[in-house]
Every structure is written in C-alpha cells, then in structure tokens.
Amino acid sequence: MKAVKQASHWIASRPEADGSIVVADLIIALESKQPFEVHRLSGLDDEHFALTLGILEDWRSVKRQAGKSKLLDLALQLRALKATTG
C-alpha cells in the first residue's frame, strides 16, 4: 500500500504536474478496466515510473481497498479539474 499512499500524496500536492495527470489517468483506467496508453509512462522520471510499478502491484491486492478508493477519488478530481481548465 506504500505506493498507493505515495501516489495519493503526489497527486494531491502537485495536481498540475504532467506526471500527476499520467498517474491519475492510470488509476482511472485500472479501476474502470479501460485501456491505458502504456507509452505515457515513459515520460515519467525514474522515481515516478517506479511508483507506477508499485501502484500496479498494490492494485492487485483487495486488502488495500481503502487506499485505492482515496487514490481513485483524487484521480477523478484531477481529471475533472483538467477538463474544466483545458
């Protein structure tokens, strides 16, 4: 759950960062079982690329549902903000 918590903190503290948007879109794709363009991860720095790998590991665990719900909520908020600001 460490990666899910780190991603929540990162998105909340830097919602304007391109990497936050990529991670938020990944989270939404995972939860909604929709396609995600994996090549977008290559634009992340090493630290945040590793974070996305941790998210994928964490996402498979049902035990981490509360953390996943919080992260999904942040991701959806960021997507809505992005849609309103263009």
In tens, the pLDDT along 24-41 reads 999 999 888 899 999 999
Model pTM score: 0.73
Reduce the DSSP state of residue 22 to 3 states and report it: helix
Sequence-distant (≥ 6) Cβ neighbours of residue 65 within 8 angstroms: none
61 pLDDT more than 80: no
pLDDT of residue 72: 84
58 pLDDT more than 60: yes
Give the residue-averaged pLDDT of 50-72: 79
Q: How confident is the model at residue 62 (pLDDT cuts 50, 70, 90)?
A: low
Instruction: Tell me how crowded residue 3 is: count the other CB atoms within 10 A of its CB.
Output: 20
